[in-house]
Amino acid sequence: MRTDAPHILLVNPWIHDFAAYDFWAKPLGLLSLAAILRAHDCRVSYLDCLDRFHPRMPWIAAGDRHGRGPFRKSIIPKPPQFHDVRRRFARYGIDPDWFREDLGRLPAPDLVLVTSGMTYWYTGVRETIALVKQVFPRAPVLLGGVYATLCPDHARRWSGADEIFTGPAEPALMDRVRSHTGWTTAPRFAPDDLDTYPFPAFDLQRRIAYVPLLTSRGCPFACAYCASHLLEHRSLHRSPASVVEEIAHWHRSWGVSDFVLYDDAFLEHPEGHALPVLEAIVQSGMPVRFHTPNALHIRGLTPETARLLFAAGFTTLRFGLETADFQTRGDLDHKVTAPEFERAARALKAAGFADGQIGAYLLVGLPGQETAAITRSIDAVKRAGISPVLTYYSPIPGTRLWGEAVAASRYDLAADPLYTNNAVLPCRKEPFNWQWMSEMKKRVNA
């Protein structure tokens, strides 16, 4: 039995896509695993292929408001599957030679953990793993994350990883370390008690521009278009004290002012979770800001909730409306009604939020969706004094809408995850059309 703690390398891979931008996108799950490994005395290294602050960058982007900013972009050959799409394809992230040099400076790891994002980014995952294996051919590589969980068979065939890890990694993490390195130790956290988790290891980054914050896990809605319930089956909540302690840690010790809420259902049953958390944040008196790119639940927006969100420093609000065609939305979800949406809009304005702070996501490119339905939704959101935010639909295997997506798509979605890329609007029968997308954007900005 091994007695010395192993060295484990964690890697955030490149993105290959038509477009990508750091809209508060960090590998929270991977950095949470890094923190757990450190808490168990493992030696941990972390490399981020998307690092916007790499020392080899010819310039360091100051970024957009509140920590956002562009990734480095390198044009690469477009997959032949998209010969009909008149857009350039790129690798987003650091230069491969920089990554190779960074790997070469590390001691050989005993185990490599790689995460994965969107299913259609798997070519970036494959490139990342191939380079890791060139430098460290003896180190086993485990792949987890979204792509590995939603497309495990494809990942086993195409990623190049030695093992695929599906679902939440924390419950089995130390067992995997033992099986691959021969090292074992008593567990120092409870996988089903989020308050026992160490804070994610954001300090492993070169710069902490913002901190993603997870106050709960799981989502009860199982919407037809969404994979949240497939990625996390558990429903777990942190205590308000734990949440405030983490915010204080990053704010007071690291100077972080921007926090990004990653919860899938923060305002679901607000009395039992969100309101106590918001009250604790307000009572802390810390001058921090919060942003909600994962969307808040509209039904939970009462005047009291809106008041607390404003008092707590919530600055960028996004809500999962998806469509304002309330007569037909039952096929998608049952999250909100027209009166609830209108009530929420009034509550936010009354609480003090400005028009530019509030946005409602609208899904575009759904199977069988007509342009008129999109424009009606855009107009309805604007009448409520809220900014429409167009989000392009990506078909996800395992969701209720998958079958309709496969039938509607001009591509063979089941054959290759690349075809599910929302940038090409895969469920519109017509070929990719810049003019149509421009018309939708003009409608939003009119």
- Supply the pLDDT for residue 1: 66
What contacts 24+ positions apart, CB below 8 Å, involve 184-189? 184/1, 184/2, 185/5, 185/40, 185/41, 187/40, 188/39, 188/40, 189/36, 189/39
* Architecture of the domain defined by 210-445: Alpha-Beta Barrel (3.20)
Please list, in sequence order, all residues whose beta carbon lies within 8 angstroms of the beta carbon of residue 52, skipping any fewer than 6 positions away: 22, 60, 61, 63, 69, 70, 71, 72, 209
- 318 exposure class (CB count in 10 Å sphere: 0-12, 13-18, 19+): buried
Please give the angle made by the CA atoms of 165, 171 and 174, to the nearest 5 degrees: 80
Would the pTM count as exceeding 0.85?
Answer: yes
Is residue 227 a contact partner of residue 146, using CB atoms and an 8 Å limit? yes
pLDDT of 330 reads 73
pLDDT in tens, the chain (446 residues): 677 899 999 999 999 999 999 999 999 999 999 999 999 999 999 999 999 999 999 876 555 689 999 999 999 999 999 988 989 999 999 999 999 999 999 999 999 999 999 999 999 999 999 999 999 999 999 999 999 999 999 999 999 999 999 999 999 999 999 999 999 999 999 999 999 999 999 999 999 999 999 999 999 888 999 999 899 988 999 999 999 999 999 999 999 999 999 999 999 889 999 999 999 999 999 999 999 999 999 989 999 999 999 999 999 999 999 999 887 777 788 888 899 999 999 999 999 999 889 999 999 999 999 999 999 999 999 999 999 999 999 999 999 999 999 999 999 999 999 999 999 999 988 877 888 888 999 999 98
Cα–Cα distances in angstroms (integers) from residue 444 to residues 218, 321, 377, 420, in the given order: 32, 15, 10, 25
Domain residue spans of the chain: 7-181, 210-445
Residue 330 Cα distances to 134, 219, 334, angstroms: 50, 18, 6
Q: Could you check whether 7-181 and 210-445 share the same CATH topology?
A: no
Architecture of domain 7-181: 3-Layer(aba) Sandwich (3.40)
Residues near 371 by Cβ (< 8 Å), separated by ≥ 6?
436, 440
